[in-house]
Chains A and B, each alone.
Chain A
Amino acid sequence: MRRSHAVLAAALLVSAPGCKRAQREVVVYTSVDQPFAEPIFRDFEKRSGIRLRAVFDTEETKSTGVLNRLIAEAQRPQADVFWSGDPVRPFILAKRGLLEPYASPAAASIPAQFKSADGLWTGAAARAKILLVNTQRVAPSEMPRSIRDLANPRWKGQGAMANPVFGTTTMYVAALFTVWGDDRARAFLEQVKANGTRIASSNGEVRRLVAAGEVAFGLTDTDDAHQALLEKAPVQVVYPDQDDLGTLVMPNAVVLIKGGPHPAEARALLDHLVAPEVEKRMVETAGHIPLRRETAAVPTAPGPSSFQTMHVDYARVADEIAKIEPWLRQWAGI
């Protein structure tokens, strides 16, 4: 009798998260950094009374790990919301018919270029691809100013970038392909490799390499730069290619998953994630760029109106990613 009680208790314990409960809940998959996302989730739970269950990405597979889990689970979606660290992964889901359109009223003040007209995705604060430069290794007059400096013999063996197979670097490289065309972009990446540029496992690793002075500069994101500056590392942020190409802005994107188990709660969460308060919080704690003009920026990440942005169509960039991915893997040697 006692043994059967123990078995029953074990079964209840194991299946607990899967049980239907009176409490409302919502499931979110996110590639936004856990240290920034988790407090926002806790705040949502407090305000709404809805229990939130999250799946986070690891740094190495950032933006692609949970994306692929979403694809693997497509037949029976487990997630209600995907909070992506960039705006192009949602297009990969959209192409597979996995998204549910929803134009959140909370996103009314977000500029049109940072959300989709049909409500498939909504931007929520952004990052930019910048050059992080070690000020102990590089004099102010010699600062690299362009992404092309990664291929410049002047900086041979002194630059770093994250593996373009993963994370926001994939998006950046794909954006280059859309702007420059295949031949020029491929030639550039081959030159980058030939120039001895360190290929790090992640943007966070690029930050570490630059902050430690192991390389002179690296291509990374504004939130990583923000982190380096908070740690008082000897670094300076350069918004690259201000004379021509421009700097790529990558808004986080929130999407609803079609057929998700908790549609009403999913909308409530999406409303929360695109609200001005959350944008403000991402700006202040994660060094993100505000998309709304009325949200005050931090000095390390000024609003997109204060620098020249790269003009790209995020949908086209998403298409380009699918096209160049096999070549990129070959380039990266994996």
Chain B
Amino acid sequence: MGRHLSATLKRAEEPLALGLVGAVLIVASLLPFVFLVVGLVRAPAELSAGMALLGSREPWFVFLRSVVSALAVALASVLVGVPLGLLLGCTDVRGRKAALILHAFPMFLPPFLLALGWFFLFGKSGLWGSEHSSSALFSLGGSVAVEALVFTPIITSLVALALQRIDPSLVEAARVAARPGRVATRILLPLAWPAAALGALVVFALSLSELGVPMFLRVRAYTAAVFARLGAVQYAPGEALVLTLPMLIVSLALLAMERRLIGPRSFAVLGLRAGEATVLPLGKWRPLGTIVAWAVALATLVPLVGLAWRARTGIAALQDWIGSGLQNSIVPAAIAATLLIGIAVVLGRAIALGRAGATALDALMVLAFVTPAAVLGVGLIGVWNRPATQTIYGSLAIIVIGFVARYAVLPTRTFAIAVAQASPHLEESARVQGAWFLRRLLRIVVPLHARAIAAAWLLAFVSCLRDLETTILFYPAGSAPLTVRIITLEANGPEPVVAALALVHVLVVAAALVAGALALRLRRAA
């Protein structure tokens, strides 16, 4: 009897583990939406008001404007990111790895921080500022440019990493008969298109849901209109939820497009493919290619110059203003990233292997990621601010839950692709030999993908660190994360101190990435 039960339990390990992960995601990500929908049903006036609003022209005008703006950001990012990814991913440009790393770094920072950096440079009283530069920055064009520079590294990195995975013999063969330019346009770019297309979708989704940059640059955006339903006098979370419907429809369309066009080739994972990368020699164009690649790559770092310049006189006052902001950022981000890895290993594998229910959970994660964070935040308050859950709601634990709800998709997708790209034979052999799910997971899947797990943890950690919109609505009193502290001080606090706080954030992210890269390198060496 006991042996029978044990065998049954072991057989059920995988569905149980997936069920547990599903339960966590349902509690963290789905319940807040359910709370809002139930509230909406109970308050038909809000539903009618929201629907009436959607029936008018104005919100659609703002929505269309936001969609066009996001398209412009995605297009600009593709136009810059694809050629740059090609140069840095598979040519003999000098120092291309270093250039790619430096170029990619700002994508791990909160976009509004970079907008702040541009303001310190090109605002009227900025380092290189004038009335004209200020007007250009505080405009729709300025907002598109700032966001494009923030998000271009996503495309560059995906394209470069995808090209590094191409079989070098393919390029070698092509080079026998064709010039480098022809090899690039006829062989490399077509092979890199799934990465570029995925990057464009991600950039579009991120730009459409971005709140900090348009708000800071005073540009009308649909996310700000949704936020206004939560930050105006008439507190109307139901209306805000109704207003998110067009965004959710667009998100679902993007998800469908991603599934149809790109499938499981979505994400590249650092270092999955061992061996030599493709190198396409530029010949006499190498010096020019190097200059152009480095110049474009470093453009994303320019706003950091603005932050550093403005922070010069603020660093001395840092200890008066930083409070516990650093701790409040790092601790929940690290805990959330660790929890997210648990989810990613179980769910990512299930997605890669096409297990039942995994696709639905994947869709839930995507929706939680692209829904305006303020809406998710109100739902989280409704779910967790109850007598029985005060220990959670009144502590940093609520921030951890918010991070899990919003960012589960990032490490999970990363790990899913790692599993999809690896051979399933090892795990299959173990299964045939009688190893049950948990044993296979801990003894084969985790060690086999240790580097992918480390990379996914790092991605989750820095994503949580850069968060502003999710936590600003419900961070526990006295426990404001650093990003929230920067934004609440931004308007009336001393500018040098705000810049210095932003610089601290930049340094923390840089330190985390350097430590992570070293750990990955050590693991590879081992």
A residues in contact with B233, CB < 8 Å: 64, 67, 92, 165, 170, 321-322, 325
Across the interface, name the chain B residue whose C-beta is closest to A165.
B232
Across the interface, name the chain A residue whose C-beta is closest to B394.
A18
**A 2-21 binary contact with B (CB < 8 Å = 1; else 0):** 00000000100111111100
B interface, over-half SS = helix
- Asked if A58 and B491 sit within 8 Å, CB to CB, the answer is yes
Q: Does A278 contact B (CB under 8 A)?
A: no
- Asked if A325 and B232 sit within 8 Å, CB to CB, the answer is yes
Report Cα–Cα, A56/B490, bound state, in Å. Answer: 12
* Given A212-B134, A214-B134: A53 touches B492 (CB 8 Å cut-off): no
Most buried by A among B218, B220, B227, B231: B231
- Asked if A15 and B124 sit within 8 Å, CB to CB, the answer is no
- Asked if A53 and B478 sit within 8 Å, CB to CB, the answer is yes
B residues in contact with A69, CB < 8 Å: 381, 473-474
Report Cα–Cα, A36/B494, bound state, in Å. Answer: 11
B residues in contact with A52, CB < 8 Å: 478
Across the interface, name the chain B residue whose C-beta is closest to A32.
B492
Stretch at the interface among B171-179, B382-390, B445-453: B382-390
Number of B residues with CB within 8 Å of any CB on chain A: 58
- Asked if B234 and A78 sit within 8 Å, CB to CB, the answer is no
- Asked if A28 and B124 sit within 8 Å, CB to CB, the answer is no
**In the complex, which of the residues A17, A166, A212, A322 contacts B478, with contact meaning CB atoms closer than 8 Å?**
A17
**In the complex, which of the residues A27, A60, A76, A325 contacts B386, with contact meaning CB atoms closer than 8 Å?**
A76
* Given A35-B493, A202-B491: A329 touches B378 (CB 8 Å cut-off): no
Q: Does A227 contact B (CB under 8 A)?
A: yes
B 376-432 contacts with A by CB, 8 A = 378, 381-382, 385-387, 390-397, 400
**B 488-509 binary contact with A (CB < 8 Å = 1; else 0):** 1111111000000000000000
A residues in contact with B480, CB < 8 Å: 55-56
Question: What is the distance, in angstroms, from B49's C-beta to the closest C-beta of chain A?
Answer: 8
Most buried by B among A35, A73, A79, A204: A35
**In the complex, which of the residues B125, B131, B228, B237 contacts A165, with contact meaning CB atoms closer than 8 Å?**
B228
- Asked if A78 and B231 sit within 8 Å, CB to CB, the answer is no
- Asked if A55 and B231 sit within 8 Å, CB to CB, the answer is no
* Given A16-B396, A61-B231: A76 touches B387 (CB 8 Å cut-off): yes
- Asked if A14 and B397 sit within 8 Å, CB to CB, the answer is yes
**A 96-110 binary contact with B (CB < 8 Å = 1; else 0):** 000000000000000
Report Cα–Cα, A59/B297, bound state, in Å. Answer: 34
Report Cα–Cα, A200/B138, bound state, in Å. Answer: 11
Report Cα–Cα, A330/B56, bound state, in Å. Answer: 10
- Asked if B62 and A334 sit within 8 Å, CB to CB, the answer is yes
Most buried by B among A60, A61, A200: A60
Question: What is the distance, in angstroms, from B267's C-beta to the closest C-beta of chain A?
Answer: 28
Q: Does A71 contact B (CB under 8 A)?
A: yes
- Asked if B491 and A53 sit within 8 Å, CB to CB, the answer is no
Q: Does A33 contact B (CB under 8 A)?
A: yes
Report Cα–Cα, A205/B477, bound state, in Å. Answer: 27
Question: What is the distance, in angstroms, from A137's C-beta to the closest C-beta of chain B?
Answer: 12
- Asked if A18 and B62 sit within 8 Å, CB to CB, the answer is no
- Asked if A55 and B477 sit within 8 Å, CB to CB, the answer is yes
- Asked if B134 and A57 sit within 8 Å, CB to CB, the answer is no
- Asked if B386 and A227 sit within 8 Å, CB to CB, the answer is no
* Given A64-B231, A68-B235: A15 touches B397 (CB 8 Å cut-off): yes
Report Cα–Cα, A177/B4, bound state, in Å. Answer: 77
Q: Does A29 contact B (CB under 8 A)?
A: yes
Q: Does B475 contact A (CB under 8 A)?
A: yes
- Asked if B378 and A13 sit within 8 Å, CB to CB, the answer is no
- Asked if B477 and A53 sit within 8 Å, CB to CB, the answer is yes
Report Cα–Cα, A135/B183, bound state, in Å. Answer: 63
For this complex, 29 residue pairs linking A to B, each with C-beta atoms less than 8 Å apart, are A14-B397, A15-B397, A17-B394, A27-B477, A28-B477, A29-B477, A33-B491, A34-B489, A35-B493, A36-B492, A53-B478, A54-B477, A59-B490, A60-B215, A61-B227, A69-B473, A72-B378, A72-B473, A78-B477, A92-B233, A165-B228, A205-B218, A205-B491, A212-B131, A213-B131, A326-B49, A326-B234, A329-B232, A334-B228
Q: Beyond the given A18-B476, A170-B233, A227-B492, please list 12 additional residue pairs across the A-B interface where CB-CB is below 8 A.
A: A17-B479, A18-B390, A19-B395, A34-B489, A36-B492, A51-B478, A53-B476, A53-B477, A64-B233, A68-B232, A76-B385, A204-B491
